[in-house]
Amino acid sequence: MTSHVRQATSPAGSPDPDGPVAAPQGRVPSAPPTGHTEPSTPQTASAQAPDAEPRRSRRSALVARATELLRFGTVGGVAFVVDTGLFNLLRFGPGDLLADKPLTAKVLSVAAATIVAWLGNRYWTFSDRKTQTQLREFLGFVVVNIGGMGIALGCLWFSHYVLDLRSPLADNISANGVGLVLGMVFRYLAYRTFVFTATPAGTAEDGTLADGAPTGSEEAATRTGDAATKTAGA
């Protein structure tokens, strides 16, 4: 029986009976199978995800602040009606109760409006910021409103006694126009800073979502998971 011995050429050119068979010259090793691809790292989603949550937090904070301002304006509008109506009733109403005492009439009308504003702001506008120390909160509210009343009285005093504008229109413009606007700005800032100082649940000091607070996507995912669990159990 004739045996065929396969010989391979070593790098030095000598035959090597035990060595591997050399590839034909000029051939290139075949490429990996066409369907095999290296896993790619998702870039778009990972790049956008870190920026989406801060934007959502800022948007939520802006919506909350706009709602708070709307409620504050509504309460202020009701208090304005009480203040203006009582002021004019005392000065120019039947009996002329305080016709010659505009400052006294303003003090009484502001006091009545303060009670209305206290109830509206504590239990509606700043309901998520009200503190447990109601006495401290009420005293702070009174002090702030005394400051706001001082602003309105200052405008009325300057118009009535310095500028000598004593008509009903002039008194209303100075006390219930300029004085009211300046007093409202002062009150809003002071309420948030010194009176209603509790931090709303789930928010940081700057009004954005605090760390660990559920975002809208997380809440939606939780609700979806709960619904799926209930469906599977049924």
Q: Could you read off the pLDDT of 168-214 as tens digits, one per residue?
A: 899 999 988 899 889 889 989 999 898 888 887 655 555 544 544 44
The model's pLDDT over 150-178, given as tens digits with 9 standing for 90+, comes to: 998 999 999 999 999 989 899 999 988 89
Share of the chain above pLDDT 90, in %: 20
| 110 band by pLDDT with thresholds 50, 70 and 90 | confident
Q: What average pLDDT does range 20-49 have in this prediction?
A: 53
Residue ranges of E strands in the chain: 8-9, 15-16
Closest-CA residue to 70 (of 59, 62, 82, 81): 62
| 49 band by pLDDT with thresholds 50, 70 and 90 | low
Q: Are 106 and 156 in contact (CB under 8 A)?
A: yes
Separation of alpha carbons 176 and 147, rounded Å: 15
> Which pLDDT does position 169 carry in this prediction?
92
Q: Which of 15-19, 79-83, 133-137, 175-179 has the least mean pLDDT? A: 15-19
- Cα–Cα distances in angstroms (integers) from residue 228 to residues 20, 33, 223, 233, 234, in the given order: 60, 40, 9, 9, 10
Separation of alpha carbons 45 and 51, rounded Å: 10
